Structure 1
Amino acid sequence: MCVANKGFPSDWTLSWKVVGSSNWEEIRSPGVLQKDGLYSWSSTLRLSADQWEKVTCEAKRGSQTAFSETLRRDQCSQS
């Protein structure tokens, strides 16, 4: 799950880049107005545990990327 808080305006989106898999599902929420007048967003990525190499969540507005975070599979512990 990727979460962004305290943003403005409401037309930002969270999106995923997935390396190593072509079979995945993304569930996005629209911007939710909070009591402080700013917005929050979330996006959930579903994919098979052994079918990816790295994933990146990006916060974007139009063509502008404000933030991205990448996680590689070898950084994750398996239980």
Structure 2
Amino acid sequence: FTFGGGTRLDVGSDTRPTLTVLPPSREELQQGTATLMCLANKGFPSDWSLSWRVEDSSSSSSSSSWEQSSSPGVLQKLDGLYSWSSTLRLPADQWRKVGSVTCEATRGSQTPLRETLRRDQCSQS
């Protein structure tokens, strides 16, 4: 609910979203780009944020310098919970060097949620 000049009131209990990381498509990789998507479903309230960590397959180093974007939370009218998505784009040749990608959902001081996708588990890698 929004009152007056924009004071928002969230009614409900904290609910941790479920994370799913989707790999790039084979067709997209053939065109030289890799887009990964992180879906966060059924969380509450709306201020969870998503971020990415990319692990190089040849070392334990990580990088977050790739293009990232996140959507604002979308309220599901049926259950009053929110869903978000975030995309990570990197060149296909860099994707082939990746060991894993991790999507992390954070909210305040709560323990972050993480979902990791290993490139060698993807059929189109």
TM-score with structure 1 setting the length: 0.82
Structure 2 counterparts to residues 1-79 of structure 1, below 5 A: 1-20=37-56, 23-35=65-77, 36-51=79-94, 52-78=98-124
Unaligned runs of 5+ in 1: none
Do the aligned residues in 2 keep the contact of 1:23 with 1:47 (CA within 8 Å)? no
Do the aligned residues in 2 keep the contact of 1:59 with 1:65 (CA within 8 Å)? no
Greater strand share, structure number:
1
Residue 73 of structure 1 and its aligned partner are, at CA, apart by 1.6
Greater helix share, structure number:
2
d(CA) in 2 for partners of 1:6, 1:66: 16
Give RMSD over aligned pairs. 1.9
Q: Which has the higher contact order (CA 8 A, sep 6+)?
A: 1
Which structure has the bigger radius of gyration? Answer: 2
Instruction: Number of aligned residue pairs: give it.
Output: 79
Secondary structure of 1:40's partner?
strand
d(CA) in 1 for partners of 2:111, 2:86: 16
- The residue type equivalent to 1:54 in the other structure is S
Residue 22 of structure 1 and its aligned partner are, at CA, apart by 5.5
Unaligned runs of 5+ in 2: 1-36, 57-62
TM-score with structure 2 setting the length: 0.55
Identity within the alignment, %: 78
